[in-house]
Chains A and B, each alone.
Chain A
Amino acid sequence: MLFTSEIFIFYFLPIVFILYYILSFSRLAQNIWLFIMSILFYAWGEPVYVLLMLFSILINWWTCIRMEKHEDSEKKRKHVLIIACVFNLLILFFFKYFGFLLTSINGLLDIALFPEITLRLPIGISFYTFQAMSYVIDVYRKQAKVEKNPFYVGLYIAFFPQLIAGPIVRYTSIAEQIRTRRSDYAGMSAGISRFMIGFTKKVLLSNNFAILADLIFNYSQMGNEQYLVPASLAWLGMIAYTMQIYFDFSAYSDMAIGLGKMFGFDFPENFNYPYYASSMQDFWKRWHISLTSWFREYLYFPLGGSKTKNTDIMIRNIFIVWMFTGIWHGAGLSFIVWGLWHFIFQLAERFFGYGQNGKHQIIMRIYTMLVVMFGWVVFRAVDLYQAYLYFMNLFALNNNGFFSEEALFLVNEYAVVIIIGIIFCVPTAPSVGAWVEKHCKSFVQTILQSGYIVVLCLLFIISLSYIIRSGYNPFIYFNF
């Protein structure tokens, strides 16, 4: 079920919300209600694979119970941890990478050694598997207590706001909230406002950028014989995808955080204006923060992180993290290359130290954006060959020329969306807000705040009209 669907907005959310507050007399009842509705939320989109998720919840709950029973034996605890991690990774590997692996082996050997396996990817499997592993590892590290109630483990892993596309919430950051969270009108209101912002961002910005990006990438995919993509059109496609992926994912995170707040949960922030970053290291402190934190906490630090004095080991550690970051996003060589692309620039920044002295901010921001955008081309293209073709188009190396009337037409058609997208992908709104607070008189502030309410409500109604009238509603991170 998508947050930006009629069934969610007009049926699921009101029912869950109203009954949740009716059950205010009992936290246990509220949690069980949220768990049941989370399972229904998932089952609506995955009526078959919901059983897989329930099985995963049970296994992770049970392994931690076993861990507690072996509290006096570190060796046994470690065995249980390994079993749990292998189980989680096996599920992920089988559904996400097994088919790709067999196809790759067949391709390398140039024979059909293995049959082609095409399994449908369970929605959100990468997210809930990482959450489940977070629970098991935190319990093993004794950073969190074992949760004996399977519904609560289930609620942590399957809670509908962040089940499908994160943020990947670490167990330690939410364990307490499951039992003892505070729900008040201020928190709920903040959550609703955040949800409305995410909803409008997704529907009005991301979906419109998606139309442009999909159109132009599909043109490129058709090949030069069918359609020559002029460089200006290719640049427009790349910029559109850059905007789409940011507004798509950050909007989902806004909605998830907002929904969490509506039910009294505080989820960590997942984005902090990544396109305002002044280096690639800075970018990854602002983009998909929960995934970066997960890898840092559960992979990078255990490998030794950057504290090791051996530079080779440090490089290896960074390489492994970026390799897995790439693989996590999808089964395909292009995702691995995308991960390694980021690895190269992270490493270069560390060794050459550029971007760390705060100088040449404008140049650094342009450099960061170019690296990020070229990375998105690899990420978006269906395979490496298509990415190669797209780069050729970008630099007019396909006999494709530069000027495109169609690019001009599309820019004209989507001018408002493009301008608003550019304004809001950098911290314009908080800066303007802070300036108004500092320089404007209180009655001006009241007028502006009232205007904000009117505009947000209007945009939400327009967004509803978009989801009712327009069928184009893709979610990029839905498939990760």
Chain B
Amino acid sequence: MKKTTREKICATIFMCSLFTFAGMNAYINGGSLIEILREQMMEVSEVSQLYDVTVAVEDEITESMLVKDAFIEIYGGTQLLLDKQEFNNFSFVKDDDGFLYYGKTYNTIDTEVETYAKRVRRMSEYVEEEGKKFLFVMPLDKNISEFVSSDSVLPISDVNPTMDLFLWRLNQNMVNTLDLRSSLVETGLSYEELFFKTDHHWTTLAAFYAAVEIVEEFEVVWGDDLDIDDFYMDIENYELEILEESALGSMGKDVGILYSEGYDDMQLLTPNFETDYSYTYYNSSGKEILRTGTFEETLMFTEYLDGSYENTERVYLNTANREDIIINNLNPDGPKLLVLRDSYFSPVAAFLSPLFSEIHMVWATSQENPGVDFEEFLKENIDEYDYVILEVYSHNLNDYSFEFFQ
């Protein structure tokens, strides 16, 4: 075979496949692309904004690319073949056991948390002035020193020093805090039982024990024993079902199934006792939805267990609602809890719900819940509640999560 023949074959394959693919892609996505272009052009009031138009169009092209998932799998499969632990310029790192982490080549302590600590102190003071009880809850990060060696050369993002500084500042400011890092490790759960391999979230079991720790903290700090009979916080009163290889977390979706090397097991924990709830939530588009019935019928979104693997981690409270109101119809005289939180708290709230007559939660980061004044929200609602919890996950220790009491 001559070189020219080889080149002709290459060219023919290139033209046939690329142009066909490009044509199909343009046919399917061309309309939305033109729409984006039109919308962006409408917003242009000065020439320099034309740069934004091109960026928006290119973003849309990437986002809507035909068979994008297949390309992600090809990329992930290539990284797997190359035996890479670092993924996509240190966006993610995979350890020898297959756990995915956020990557960071140089970890620093974010001293901005000192500012956030002051805001939390002001929030705490306000709540206590109103005669209510305030607790700051810090979930554990996936990078746990007991399981992930700090000597490891893997460039894993480590926010623990920042968390330490933040909690130290809060304690200096006399804010009630609950650091779940050590307490959850002490439960004896293995790393696989605490965290998904393919997600940054903790598992159902970890969330349950977090709820237990919160209830214990209420007793330690204020002497409030919410679970007098030690019934609702006893795992023996729950049915544990393991759905093997049924979940692909957000990190897994980013790196693909091949690089994730399979799916995670999903733990389903359902109460063995009678429940009755009225649960209202506002989804990401602000739509109000009401569900009534048992724990499983209201607080669990079993429709995510449809075998598609996607969003399985959202089984409890849909994970990402803007606002949730859980009314426990079987405990109308119980205390009321107001929570400013992020996604980590969804399963925790589900397990706390038997102990309260009402749990009202708002997703308190301006990125996820834009346009909401969280300080105003707290002031408007404080009268109705007995306890206020502020929960912020380690990677949310940033400006977006502390836009209150500035």
Which residues on A are within 8 Å of B, measured CB to CB?
5-7, 9-11, 13-14, 17-18, 44-45, 47-48, 185-186, 188-193, 196, 211, 215, 219, 222, 226-227, 405-406, 408-409, 413, 416-417, 445-446, 449-450, 452-453, 456-457, 460-462, 464-466, 468-472
- Given contact pairs A6-B65, A14-B18, A406-B153, A469 touches B75 in the complex (Cβ within 8 A): yes
Is the pair B22, A14 in contact by a Cβ cutoff of 8 Å? yes
Is the pair B26, A10 in contact by a Cβ cutoff of 8 Å? yes
Knowing that A17-B19, A189-B4 touch, tell me 18 more A-B residue pairs with CB under 8 angstroms.
Answer: A6-B58, A6-B62, A7-B57, A189-B7, A192-B14, A192-B15, A193-B6, A196-B10, A196-B14, A222-B106, A227-B106, A461-B74, A462-B75, A464-B71, A465-B71, A468-B72, A470-B75, A471-B89
- Given contact pairs A189-B4, A472-B88, A10 touches B25 in the complex (Cβ within 8 A): yes
- Taking CB atoms, residues of chain B closer than 8 Å to A18 are 19
Is the pair A405, B153 in contact by a Cβ cutoff of 8 Å? yes
- Taking CB atoms, residues of chain B closer than 8 Å to A409 are 153-154
Identify A462's interface contact among B15, B51, B72, B74, CB under 8 A: B74
- Taking CB atoms, residues of chain B closer than 8 Å to A469 are 71-72, 75-76, 88
- Taking CB atoms, residues of chain A closer than 8 Å to B13 are 453, 457
Is the pair B26, A468 in contact by a Cβ cutoff of 8 Å? no
Is the pair B1, A468 in contact by a Cβ cutoff of 8 Å? no
Is the pair B78, A462 in contact by a Cβ cutoff of 8 Å? yes
Distance to closest chain B CB from A131 (angstroms): 24
Is the pair B74, A465 in contact by a Cβ cutoff of 8 Å? yes
- Taking CB atoms, residues of chain A closer than 8 Å to B5 are 449
In the assembled complex, the Cα of A192 lies from the Cα of B18 at a distance in Å of: 12
Is the pair A14, B10 in contact by a Cβ cutoff of 8 Å? no
Q: Which of B79-87, B111-119, B196-204, B226-234 contacts A (4 or more CB under 8 A)?
A: B79-87
Look across to chain A and name the residue whose beta carbon is closest to the beta carbon of B51.
Answer: A47
Is the pair A10, B71 in contact by a Cβ cutoff of 8 Å? no
- Given contact pairs A10-B22, A10-B26, A413-B84, A457 touches B6 in the complex (Cβ within 8 A): no
Distance to closest chain B CB from A404 (angstroms): 9
Look across to chain A and name the residue whose beta carbon is closest to the beta carbon of B62.
Answer: A6
- Taking CB atoms, residues of chain A closer than 8 Å to B305 are none
Identify B50's interface contact among A47, A450, A452, A456, CB under 8 A: A47
Identify B54's interface contact among A44, A466, A471, CB under 8 A: A44
In the assembled complex, the Cα of A115 lies from the Cα of B303 at a distance in Å of: 63
- Taking CB atoms, residues of chain A closer than 8 Å to B86 are 413
Is the pair A190, B4 in contact by a Cβ cutoff of 8 Å? yes
- Taking CB atoms, residues of chain B closer than 8 Å to A193 are 6-7, 10-11
4 tightest Cβ-Cβ pairs between the two chains A and B: A189-B11, A47-B50, A465-B74, A192-B11
In B116-155, the 8 Å CB interface with A consists of: 153-155
Is the pair B75, A185 in contact by a Cβ cutoff of 8 Å? no
- Given contact pairs A406-B153, A465-B75, A11 touches B19 in the complex (Cβ within 8 A): no
In B32-69, the 8 Å CB interface with A consists of: 47-48, 50-51, 53-54, 57-58, 61-62, 65, 68
Task: Confirm or deny: B105 has a beta carbon within 8 angstroms of a beta carbon on chain A.
Answer: yes
- Taking CB atoms, residues of chain B closer than 8 Å to A13 are 18
In the assembled complex, the Cα of A185 lies from the Cα of B82 at a distance in Å of: 37
Is the pair B106, A219 in contact by a Cβ cutoff of 8 Å? yes
Is the pair A45, B22 in contact by a Cβ cutoff of 8 Å? no
A-B contact pairs, 29 of them (CB 8 A): A5-B58, A6-B58, A6-B62, A11-B26, A14-B19, A45-B54, A47-B50, A47-B51, A47-B54, A48-B47, A48-B50, A186-B4, A186-B8, A191-B11, A196-B10, A211-B89, A215-B90, A227-B106, A409-B153, A413-B86, A449-B3, A449-B5, A450-B1, A461-B74, A464-B71, A465-B72, A465-B75, A468-B71, A468-B75
